[in-house]
A and B are shown apart, each in its own frame.
Chain A
Amino acid sequence: MEIDQEQSHQPRIVIPGDIINEATEKNITLGPGLRQEGEHIVATKAGILKHLSPGKWWIESNQKRYIASTGESVVGRISVRLTEYYRVNIGTAHSAILPALAFEGATKRNKPNLAVGDLVYCRVAMANRDMEAELECVNPATGKADGFGGLKGGFVIKCSLGLCRRLLDPTTMILRLLGEHFPFEMAVGMNGCVWINSNTVKDTIMLANAIQNSEYLDDDECKTMVQGLLAKA
């Protein structure tokens, strides 16, 4: 997605309660962090006001507490195992529900065998403010697992939601830089949890630290940091 040229001027930083006067198009779509109050558009989150040409406005903010949203992929930990479903902790205020049949090729006779404490990479099937979120470990379009399911071994780090979104962005340098020198696999959850697995424990911890440190570094500083890590390794 290209951010249009209007952002080349000073980006506007807003705090909750600020009235947005810049949105002057006829049809405006309000994204995260914006709300209509009577005649005005009001910011409800602190962050940077962003705009995409045909009337899309939103606030780019960073927070650590995740609020479940339909369609997002999350890394969760199983907290309770029941007959028909699992309770999964994904960092939201309430735990989420993962039905035992929401896996590829699962039938009543053939259910997956996940234990309490296991990590799962799943997709939020349904989330709203009044009910517990429902998860699934299949891609709803194809019916196949497509990477969802239990995660074996590895290490989970908690980071801010903004960092997770950047890690999923293909233009972010840090993963490419690390991938040139270390083989590893990773699952990024939009809920602030990132799972990393590598050949040795030492490598896994080093990768985890590198990713967490890269949150506020720009591209050049990232390169310097990775060079430093290689020197020590």
Chain B
Amino acid sequence: METTAVTPGQRLGYAEDYTAGDGTYERDGILYASVVGLRSVDSNMDGELPTMTVVREKEQSAVPEVGSVITGKVIRVAPHSALIAIMVVGDTPCREDFSGSIRTQDVRAVEKDKVKIINSFRPGDIVRAEVISLGDARSYYLSTAKNEFGVIFATSVAGATMIPISWQEMQCPKTKTIEYRKCAKPF
């Protein structure tokens, strides 16, 4: 099928002939492109309309949505929140890191007011979290308040990879010291 280059605002076809896919939007019954890219039509199962999409590049790129599971690295820890660089949304890596923050009340589900951020996350930890809202101008709001969310990888002060021993503690195999993190349940 032909793949032509389209620019934003370019008319692609009638809404009654196609379903709007990624990179397109519908207005007054006509489908328009919303990004620069190559137009492609995917024929769907019988009975449904073919989908018109505009694909920017071959590379995958993901954007966090409310409810999506993300993997990111802790950049900074402040008294009431932890700043996370979102690197992977679901299974798709992001071309550019997004900014997320985990507030103290979203770290865990029990005893929310007694949370100490410094005993839950440290800079450099890799965490898995869920997006709970698009947040403010600076960052998405994330939550680790479920068993499967939390720190999945952390390095101890001595430089070794730590092993989770409970949902609150991780142990360094080199020095046997215990450090506090909010750990995700290992699968």
A189, B21: Cα distance in complex, Å: 65
A97 beta carbon closer than 8 Å to chain B: yes
Given A130-B77, A130-B123, A131-B78, residue A36 in contact with residue B175 (CB < 8 A): yes
Contacts of B174 in A (CB 8 A): 38
B79 in contact with A134 (CB, 8 Å): yes
Report B101-135 CB contacts with A as 1/0, cut-off 8 Å: 00000000000000001100011000000000000
Nearest-CB distance from B171 to chain A (Å)?
15
- Interface core residue of A126, A128, A131, A134 (most chain B CB under 10 Å): A131
A134, B78: Cα distance in complex, Å: 11
Q: How large is the interface on B (under 10, 10 to 19, 20 to 34, 35 or more residues)?
A: 10 to 19
Which secondary structure characterizes the binding site on chain B?
Answer: loop
A128 in contact with B118 (CB, 8 Å): yes
Tally of A-B residue pairs with Cβ under 8 A? 16
B79 in contact with A97 (CB, 8 Å): yes
Contacts of B77 in A (CB 8 A): 130-131
B175 in contact with A131 (CB, 8 Å): no
A130, B119: Cα distance in complex, Å: 11
Contacts of A36 in B (CB 8 A): 158, 175
Selected A-B contacts with CB under 8 Å, 16 pairs: A36-B158, A36-B175, A38-B174, A97-B79, A126-B118, A128-B118, A130-B77, A130-B118, A130-B122, A130-B123, A131-B77, A131-B78, A131-B79, A131-B117, A131-B118, A134-B79
Residues of A at under 8 Å CB distance from B? 36, 38, 97, 126, 128, 130-131, 134
What 3 A-B pairs have minimum CB-CB distances, sorted nearest first? A130-B77, A130-B123, A131-B77
